[in-house]
A = this chain, B = another copy of it.
Amino acid sequence: MKKPQVLTVHDIAKLAGVSAMTVSRAFNSPERLAPSTLSRVQEVVRQTNFVPNAIAGSLRSSRARLVAAVLPTLVGPVFQETVRSLSRELGERGYQLMIGESQYETAKEDALLEALIGRRPDGIAIAGIMHSAEGRRQLITARIPVVETWDFTPTPIDMLVGFSHERIGESVCAFLHDRGYRAPAVIMASDRRALRRAEGFQRQADSLGLGKIPLIVSDAPGTLAAGRSGMAELHEQHPQVDSVFCSSDMLALGAMIEAQTRGISIPDRLAVIGFADSDMAAHLQPALTSVRIDGTRIGRTAAQLIVDRTEGRPPSEKIIDVGFEIVERAST
C-alpha cells in the first residue's frame, strides 16, 4: 500500500481527470475554466482537503504574497495599531504578514532582516529608519520594496510613511510652556526614537530659556513599572518639576499612578503627557493628554504602498509624512 503523502496538483489532476495546469487554474483563475470542469476539480479538492503548496507557487511565479514586518517590540500599545492595520489590510488583499521582533537591538535587526530577505517577501515594512549600513545595503541589493515607518528622513531607502520625532519633542515642550509649565521633565525608554523626541524637547527648552531638562531613562520597551519607578526617581531628585513628557502611554500611566500614590495631584501639581495616544489614554483618570500618531493609517498606507508596487502600480508619493497631533485632555 502506498504511503499517503501530502497531495500535489498532480494527484488532484489525476483524481479529477484533468491536467495539473487545470487544477492550478481552478485556484488562480477559476473564471477561465468551464464551469463543469471547475466544479469537478473543486469537488476533488474538497474531498481531499487539498491546499496547494504556496512555496512551490512562489518559487515559480516569483510572487510570494507575503510581506515582512520588522518591529522593535510586540509588547505595549505603541505599534499595536500599526500591526493590526497592516495585518488586516494585507489579509484583505490576499497577502500574509510575517513578523519579526528586533528587541531594539541593531545586531538582531540585521540578522532578522537577512532571514526575512531570504524568504523573498513582496515587501518589507520596518518600524524606524534603518541605521546600520549593513542592513541598508542588504535591503537595497535585495531589490525588495521597503517601507520605513514611524520615523522620518528625507532620504529613505525606498518608501517612507512616518513623522518627525524631533518636531514632536519641540511641540510638546512648547505646548507645556504655553500652558504655564516652567519646569518640565522627560521620562523615556532607551530607544533611539524616544531619544530624538527628548532632544527636540531639550532644543525647544533651550530656546525658551528653560535650561537643562531632567531626563529619566529606563530599558525599552517602556512599561508601567518603569513609569512608576521613573516618577519616583524624578520626584525625589527634582521635586520642583511641574510637568512630564513620557515616551509611551504605558510609562505615562505608571507615572500617573506613582504620582497619585504620593498624593501629587494631576494636573494641579503635575501635568503628564504620553505618546502614541493608545485606546487607553482617553479613558484613564484623569484622561491622559497624549501625542496622537495615526498608527492605523501608517499600517494601511505601508500595506498599500507595498501591494501597489508589487502589482505594478507605482505609488505617486514615496515619502508620506502623517504628522502628529497633541490631543489635550485632563492631565495637562
**How many residues belonging to A are interface residues under a CB distance threshold of 8 Å?**
56
Q: At the interface, yes or no: A269 with Cβ under 8 Å from chain B?
A: no
Decide: B101 and A51 in contact? CB cutoff 8 A: no
Q: Which of B54, B59, B224 contacts A118 (CB 8 A)?
A: B54
Decide: B142 and A6 in contact? CB cutoff 8 A: yes
> A282–B287 Cα gap in the complex (Å)?
22
Interface residues of chain A: helix, strand, loop or mixed (majority): helix
> A304–B6 Cα gap in the complex (Å)?
24
Decide: A224 and B279 in contact? CB cutoff 8 A: yes
Which segment, of A109-117, A198-206, A315-323, faces chain B?
A109-117
Decide: A49 and B137 in contact? CB cutoff 8 A: yes
Decide: A224 and B283 in contact? CB cutoff 8 A: yes
**Residue of B with least CB distance to A95:** B115
Decide: B101 and A98 in contact? CB cutoff 8 A: no
Decide: A54 and B224 in contact? CB cutoff 8 A: no
A55-B55, A119-B54 known; A49+B141 contact, CB < 8 A = yes
Decide: A80 and B84 in contact? CB cutoff 8 A: no
> Which residues in B have their C-beta under 8 angstroms from that of A284?
224, 257
Shortest beta-carbon distance, A76 to chain B, in Å?
A: 8
Interface centre among A87, A260, A261, by most chain B C-beta atoms within 10 angstroms, is A87
**Residue of B with least CB distance to A69:** B99
Decide: A74 and B80 in contact? CB cutoff 8 A: yes
Within 8 A of B (CB), among A59-82: 59, 64, 66, 74-75, 80
What are 27 A-B residue pairs whose CB atoms fall within 8 Å in the complex?
A6-B142, A6-B143, A49-B137, A49-B142, A51-B118, A51-B138, A51-B142, A54-B120, A55-B119, A59-B59, A74-B80, A74-B83, A84-B101, A87-B101, A88-B101, A91-B101, A91-B112, A96-B116, A97-B99, A98-B98, A98-B99, A225-B279, A225-B280, A228-B283, A250-B280, A257-B284, A261-B285
List the 6 closest A-B pairs by CB distance, nearest first: A54-B118, A49-B141, A224-B280, A98-B98, A225-B283, A51-B117
Q: 18 other contacts beyond A54-B115, A74-B83, with CB at 8 A cut-off?
A: A6-B143, A49-B142, A51-B118, A51-B138, A54-B119, A56-B59, A74-B80, A75-B80, A87-B100, A91-B101, A96-B98, A96-B116, A98-B98, A224-B283, A225-B279, A225-B283, A257-B283, A257-B284
